[in-house]
Chains A and B, each alone.
Chain A
Amino acid sequence: MTAEYAIGILFSASGFYGAVGRTMRNGADLACRQVNADPASGIRLSPVFNDPGSDLAAYAPAVEDMLAANIRQIVGCYTSASRKEVIPLFEKHDALLWYPAHYEGFESSDNVIYTGASPNHHMLPLVDYLVAHAGRKAFCVGSNYVWAWESNRVLREEIIKRGGTVVAERYLALGETDVDRIIDAIFEADPDFVFNALIGESAYAFFRAFRKACIARGIDQVERYPVASCNLSEPELHAIGGDAAAGHLSASVYFASIDTRENRSFVSEYNEAFPDGPAPSAEAEAAYIAVKLLARSLAAAGTDALRAVKAHAANQTLSAPQGKVVVDPATYHTYLTPRIGRSLANNQFEVVYDAGLPVRPDPYLVNSSSTLEAATRHPNLRIVS
């Protein structure tokens, strides 16, 4: 008899980052359907869905409900704040969180398997690309929480290492859409590029208003002030809407336009299963990968107990839509293939850089960052006489 396991699927399908949450839920859902349809998978998954509605306070009760229902494996969370909110519950109850989002790194919980990109997967190639193609003067904008703070810190370190500067950093409260003052500050600072770590509606409002403000001033925004992000995916281009969505740079390990057999099949099955969208994205693929890896680990372990599943997750390998992915047994993050895309008018990305092979995750940037933090721009020197 085929073993059946209940797994939790915890994504905010509504609320201010609901578009990304729905694409993640769809990716996980598609993987469940494929596992259940494949007799070779050896198991059946019965997904239990929960939508915390982009409300941080709703995550812990949602996880508690799942744990109370004896669910030990949960795929979920998008923001780092929500992940940090629920990790203590996983630790207390010997459960495992499969976290399928790119994040800022500097974490390695024993109760989490990270299937999204680590900071070395997106930030380092993006900085190299920007320095080569845009310039060395960065203006950083972000949502006021740990993702943007850490992303901007890493960007500052990397850009200073390459002889550049960060002319300003501006933060908006989560969900805030009043971006006019930030845009005025960008024109005043006149950077070579804008690094965006805003999320959800704040990001969409920024992209629309910045494009509009540039057009009003007769500036070609794409050429003069390119905007680069590590968290911009296809569904968000739809959410930005109109002409404002094209021409932006995004560092990611997956774009729906990747031309491989696995990806063509993933995109067509996704679109067939979810005709109302949102479009397939890096987050959808990461959630899809998480469920596929979870299914294989469950099948190999023959139980959903934490230690056994984790032991079988180590070195688990998958031919994913993005290419080969492997769970690193040292960090329980995944080997992924870094890419950079430029958004097009059809709400897809053209790939402008591809690392060509999976790169080892480095969540603490131990192999990529300098020992000392970046020096400040101005040394404390003054002429005394």
Chain B
Amino acid sequence: MSPHRFVQNFSRRRALIVTNDTRACETLISTSRKLGLDVQRCEAAAADILLLLQSLDPAQDILFIDGDLNCFQELFASPGFALPPAPVIGMVGVEAPSRLRALMQVGATAFLSKPVHTSAVFSALYLSVNEFEQKATLRRSVEELERRRRARRHVIKAVALVMKSHALDDEGAFTLLRKESMRARMSLESYCEYVAQRSAAHHRRDAVSEDLPLAADRSY
């Protein structure tokens, strides 16, 4: 597994700004341009924000959204609302817990206090983009682990099959399956699933195979 590399240059990305605060918007526009981003100011009504969230491009877009907007309850209640698939920076004016919560609910991974200070923008971008990437990596990793957990029953079945067919103890059967899964360039769980399914198919044809799993189809 390659080590995590942080994003440090935000040029050629797009900053989408949702705020009614003209001063904050002006500062953000000028600073973002210095950092090489394209900037676009977006409408601040709930319906427009919903459409915007749904159209975000995770590889390119960064959303700046103002916590002082009064449309969050309407937004969260809208059918089709989901966490945006791109980094979000929450702009904080009133530091009330309800507003901070709304920004977290809309996916903010960094905060930027208002009035916006130019020297805070790069830090907020760095934090939001890298935190978003780390969360995405973590989410993918959890999904993969969940998939493997669900496949655990196949491992148990395959170990039992190989113990029987090759007269091995559980350690020996597991070692053999792990070695074969690596040779087949598959995860252990996927390989065991294949072994278990193949064995079941053989049983269905009443033909018990003796040469069990070890010549796996590499193209599988």
Contacts and interface: CB of A to CB of B under 8 A. Distances in A.
Interface in A40-76: none
B34 A371 contact: no
A108 B9 contact: no
B9 A370 contact: yes
Interface in B10-64: 10-11, 31, 33-36
Interface stretch (A229-237, A350-358, A361-369): A361-369
Contacts of A331: 34
Contacts of B1: 380
A379 interface: yes
Contact of B34 (A108, A373, A374, A385): A108
B7 A364 contact: no
Contact of B118 (A108, A330, A371): A108
Centre residue among B3, B8, B122 by max chain A CB count within 10 A: B8
Contact of A109 (B3, B8, B118): B118
Q: How large is the interface on A (under 10, 10 to 19, 20 to 34, 35 or more residues)?
A: 20 to 34
A365 B118 contact: no
A4 interface: no
B98 interface: no
A84 to B, nearest CB: 9
A220 B5 CA distance: 39
A375 interface: yes
Given A366-B9, A366-B35, A369-B9, A379 B3 contact: yes
Given A109-B119, A110-B118, A364-B122, A372 B3 contact: no
Nearest to A107: B119
B2 interface: yes
Interface string B151-192: 000000000000000000000000000110010000000000
Contact of A371 (B3, B7, B35, B119): B7
A376 interface: yes
Nearest to B118: A110
A332 B163 CA distance: 74
A106 interface: yes
A379 B1 CA distance: 8
Given A364-B35, A366-B35, A375 B9 contact: no
Nearest to A157: B8
Contacts of B31: 108
Contacts of A330: 33-34
Given A108-B34, A364-B34, A376 B3 contact: yes
Given A364-B122, A366-B9, A375 B36 contact: no
Given A331-B34, A366-B35, A380 B8 contact: no
Contacts of B36: 364, 366-367
Contacts of A108: 31, 34, 118-119
B2 A379 contact: yes
B6 interface: yes
23 contacts: A87-B119, A106-B122, A108-B31, A108-B118, A109-B119, A330-B34, A363-B34, A364-B9, A364-B34, A364-B36, A364-B122, A365-B9, A366-B11, A366-B35, A367-B11, A369-B8, A373-B5, A373-B6, A373-B7, A374-B5, A379-B2, A380-B2, A380-B3
